[in-house]
Amino acid sequence: MVSYMGHIDLSARQVDSGRATQIRDNVAAVVEEIRDTEAKAGRSCGDVRLLAATKTRTVGEIMAAIDAGIRLIGENRPQEVTAKAEGLQALCAERGLNLKADDGVGFHLIGQLQANKISKVLPYVGTIESVDNLQLAERISRRAVAHGLDVGMLLEVNESGESAKSGCEPEAAMELACTMASLPGLKLQGLMTIGAHVDDEGVIRRGFEHLRTLRDGILQSGESGTENCRELSMGMTHDMKYAIREGSTIVRVGTAIFGPRAFI
Q: Any idea which of 98-102, 121-125, 211-215 has the lowest mean pLDDT?
A: 98-102
Average pLDDT over residues 226-249: 97
CB 53 within 8 A of CB 253: yes
CB 252 within 8 A of CB 235: yes
- From CA 215, how far away is CA 188, in angstroms rounded? 11
- From CA 228, how far away is CA 226, in angstroms rounded? 6
- What confidence tens digit (pLDDT) does each residue in 15-72 have? 999 999 999 999 999 999 999 999 999 999 999 999 999 999 999 999 999 999 999 9
Average pLDDT over residues 168-173: 96
Alpha helices in the chain (DSSP H): 17-40, 59-67, 78-94, 118-121, 134-147, 170-181, 201-220, 240-245, 255-258
Task: Kindly state the helix (H) or strand (E) to which residue 106 belongs, with its residue range.
Answer: strand 106-109
Per-residue pLDDT at 1: 44
- What confidence tens digit (pLDDT) does each residue in 65-92 have? 999 999 999 999 999 999 999 999 999 9
Does the pLDDT value for residue 192 go beyond 90? yes
Q: Which residues contact 236 (CB under 8 A, 6 or more apart)?
A: 53, 194, 195, 251, 252, 253, 254
- From CA 172, how far away is CA 84, in angstroms rounded? 35
CB 55 within 8 A of CB 35: no
CB 99 within 8 A of CB 88: yes
Query: Shortest CA distance to 215 belongs to which of 255, 258, 182, 248?
Result: 248
Task: Please count the residues of the chain.
Answer: 264
